[in-house]
Amino acid sequence: MNSKSYLYPKVDRRKRLFFFTLLIIIVFGTVIQTTARAEWIQKVDPWVLETAAADTETEFLIVLDQQADLTAVANITDKTERGTVVYAQLTAVAQQTQAPIIAELEAANVPYQRFWVTNMIWARGKRALITKFAQRTDVAHIYANPTVKLDIIAGTKVEREIQSIPWGITITDAPAVWAAGVTGQGVVIGGQDTGYDWQHPALKPHYRGWDGTTADHGYNWHDAIHADNPGSNPGNPCGFDLLEPCDDHGHGTHTMGTMVGDDGMGNQIGMAPGAKWIACRNMEQGWGTPASYSECYEWFIAPYPQGADPFTDGDPSKAPHVINNSWSCTASEGCTDPDVLKPIVENVNLAGIVTVHSAGNSGSSCSTVTTPAAIYDVSFTVGATDSSDTIAAFSSRGPVTVGDNNPAKPDISAPGVAVYSSILGGGYGTLSGTSMAAPHVAGLVALLISANPDLAGDVEALELAIMQTAVARTSDQGCGGDSSTAVPNHVYGWGRIDAWTAYESVVVPPVSQELIFLPVLLNE
């Protein structure tokens, strides 16, 4: 044997083929594992992985791949029927698909909560559990569920004297609509906020759960706050899982006053004092989460008594016509995926409910409308103006530069500076913010439905009526390339709301006597 043969012995061809095949399997296996890992990581919000560890739990939302098909709902004109079909479809899909996930959660002995407003489950667990769910083919995404602080403008001036009709109500010309006999009667407004002081003299007469003698909170109030939020002070002045409305902060009480408030003693603070209100607490001392917001949205589509089963005990016939949302979910506090609430708000919209949202208080720069749910196309987003019809410095501007479709925002503007309304303890005071502007719009929606009940459930028609009759306001700020004469624009939207003009655009004119008798005359 020569030295060359000794150093490089011959290898059987079959062995060479085997080793070559093994090498290919190893290489491709590594590629496949790396690709699979990349795919599941892409399904998880970075915040979830950052806050979870082998020995640390975090909260997260498991969104399933299969979602209800609600396209046929668009052909349904009756609001209650729309809500009933949406409720039936959403609950059916959730019931049919969530069982395998629930089984794994129970086997892991971790807390969870099921949702149907979109096919989703809230859970709390460690990184290994999150990884396990992310690798499932029936899981579409795992979102963060952070604690989110209420966005408010500092400074409150308390006023005990009667102010009669506040400037914000007067400038919109809502009193002219009242004089025409339309005050919101027959309409239900929903609010999700820090809770509500339901016995405030300006609110109690208008609460749907109060008949003037006894209270029935069963389909009129829901508490989505079940425990302390990590961001708030320990304990809660109202408690948890409340069976009747309570406000642990004061923000909600103020916003509801602007929608329906009237104490019968001169404080006519609400846009639609003839409407009724129902409510859901979505924040614990000013701190909420995507899960608490989702729970309230779900309850509004089909209200159910506190402690009942939301999958079987909901009643869409008791849903509100419009919901006010004076809150935001910021990226800096963990809402790293801007689309976390998008399908939920879309489903509320499909149920025939107008969702009014404050634009945020991050102005005055352009592209400061950045938070869910104000950024969504289906949200009716509201900026804030002052008594001179000028946009407030704090009011967030468009265009939206986050999320999927980047719609023009805000849609509309309304009074939001030094707004006089109800406060805790039966008094009155002023607050500023887009949180104060949005309730004016929710109240106007109630006036329009009261004027023309056929508009109930027709979200698009209601929003168009408000936008196309607004007092046009322009800006030379140039946000989104707007010209100084552009209407709509990314500062005011279509302008400041005008209740009387909007009312005139939707009210059904009375049929004249000539038209009534014309067929008779022709037959003669």
- Domain identity same for 108 and 191: no
pTM of this structure: 0.90
- Domain identity same for 268 and 219: yes
Region 437-464: mean pLDDT is 98
pLDDT score of 104 more than 70 = yes
How do beta strands 188-193 and 322-325 pair?
parallel
Strand order in the sheet with 419-422: 157-159, 428-431, 419-422
The reported pLDDT for the residue numbered 51 is 87
- Domain identity same for 241 and 163: yes
pLDDT score of 52 more than 90 = no
For the stretch 201-217, pLDDT in tens is 999 999 999 999 999 99
The reported pLDDT for the residue numbered 163 is 62
The residue segments making up the domain with residue 98 are 31-145
- Domain identity same for 264 and 341: yes
- Domain identity same for 191 and 322: yes
pLDDT score of 509 more than 50 = yes
- Domain identity same for 119 and 242: no
The reported pLDDT for the residue numbered 30 is 44
Distance separating alpha carbons of residues 520 and 51, to the nearest angstrom: 77
pLDDT score of 510 more than 80 = no
168: CATH: 3.40.50.200
> Above pLDDT 70, what percent of the chain?
87
- Domain identity same for 198 and 232: yes
Report if residue 488 sits inside a domain.
yes
Report if residue 21 sits inside a domain.
no
How do beta strands 287-288 and 283-284 pair?
antiparallel
The reported pLDDT for the residue numbered 16 is 56
Which helix (H) or strand (E) covers residue 421, if one does? strand 419-422
Give CA angle at 293 (333, 186), nearest 5°: 140
pLDDT score of 106 more than 80 = yes
Considering only CA atoms, give the Rg of the chain. 27
Report if residue 17 sits inside a domain.
no
Output 211-219 pairs: Cβ under 8 A, ≥24 positions apart.
215/244, 217/243, 217/244, 217/245, 217/306, 218/305, 218/306, 219/278, 219/303, 219/304, 219/305, 219/315, 219/318
Q: What residues pair up with 267 in beta bridges, in sequence order?
A: none
The reported pLDDT for the residue numbered 333 is 57
More confident residue, 4 or 495: 495
CA contacts within 13 A on the Cβ side of 307 = 7
DSSP secondary structure code for residue 261 in this structure:
-
The reported pLDDT for the residue numbered 331 is 67
Q: pLDDT class for 39, splitting at 50, 70, 90?
A: confident
Report if residue 460 sits inside a domain.
yes
Q: How many folded domains does the chain comprise? A: 2
Backbone angles phi, psi at 359, to 5 degrees: -70, -25
Report if residue 420 sits inside a domain.
yes
- Domain identity same for 90 and 60: yes
pLDDT score of 513 more than 70 = no
For the stretch 154-193, pLDDT in tens is 655 555 555 689 999 999 999 999 999 999 999 999 999 9
- Domain identity same for 47 and 71: yes
pLDDT score of 450 more than 50 = yes
Judge whether 64 and 138 are in contact, CB under 8 Å.
Answer: yes
Judge whether 330 and 371 are in contact, CB under 8 Å.
Answer: yes
Report if residue 289 sits inside a domain.
yes
Backbone angles phi, psi at 96, to 5 degrees: -75, -25
For the stretch 233-258, pLDDT in tens is 899 999 999 999 999 999 999 999 99
Distance separating alpha carbons of residues 14 and 338, to the nearest angstrom: 56
Report if residue 15 sits inside a domain.
no
- Domain identity same for 402 and 262: yes
More confident residue, 41 or 268: 268
Region 216-235: mean pLDDT is 93
Distance separating alpha carbons of residues 462 and 474, to the nearest angstrom: 23
Region 467-486: mean pLDDT is 97
For the stretch 108-157, pLDDT in tens is 999 999 999 999 999 999 999 999 999 999 999 999 998 888 988 765 55
Residues in the chain: 524
Report if residue 351 sits inside a domain.
yes
Using the 3D structure, point to which of 115, 145, 175 is the last residue of a domain: 145
The reported pLDDT for the residue numbered 8 is 39
Average pLDDT of the chain is 89
Which alpha helices (H) appear in 378-488, and where do they start and end? 434-451, 459-468
How many Cβ atoms sit within 10 Å of the Cβ of residue 307?
9
* Residue written as token pair 């916003």: 255
Distance separating alpha carbons of residues 429 and 418, to the nearest angstrom: 9
Exposure letters 338-373 (e unless 16+ CB within 10 A, then b): bbbbbbbbbbbbbbbbbbbbbbbbbbeebbbbbbbb
How do beta strands 354-358 and 419-422 pair?
unpaired
User: How far is residue 236 from each of residues 65, 279, 333, 496, measured CA to CA in Å?
Assistant: 37, 19, 21, 38
Using the 3D structure, point to which of 145, 175, 197 is the last residue of a domain: 145
pLDDT score of 61 more than 80 = yes
Using the 3D structure, point to which of 100, 123, 145 is the last residue of a domain: 145
Region 467-492: mean pLDDT is 98
For the stretch 6-36, pLDDT in tens is 343 445 655 555 555 555 545 444 434 444 4
Distance separating alpha carbons of residues 88 and 94, to the nearest angstrom: 10
- Domain identity same for 123 and 260: no
- Domain identity same for 116 and 211: no
The reported pLDDT for the residue numbered 98 is 98
Amino acid at 450: S
For the stretch 355-412, pLDDT in tens is 999 999 999 999 999 999 999 999 999 999 999 999 999 999 999 998 777 899 999 9
The reported pLDDT for the residue numbered 19 is 54
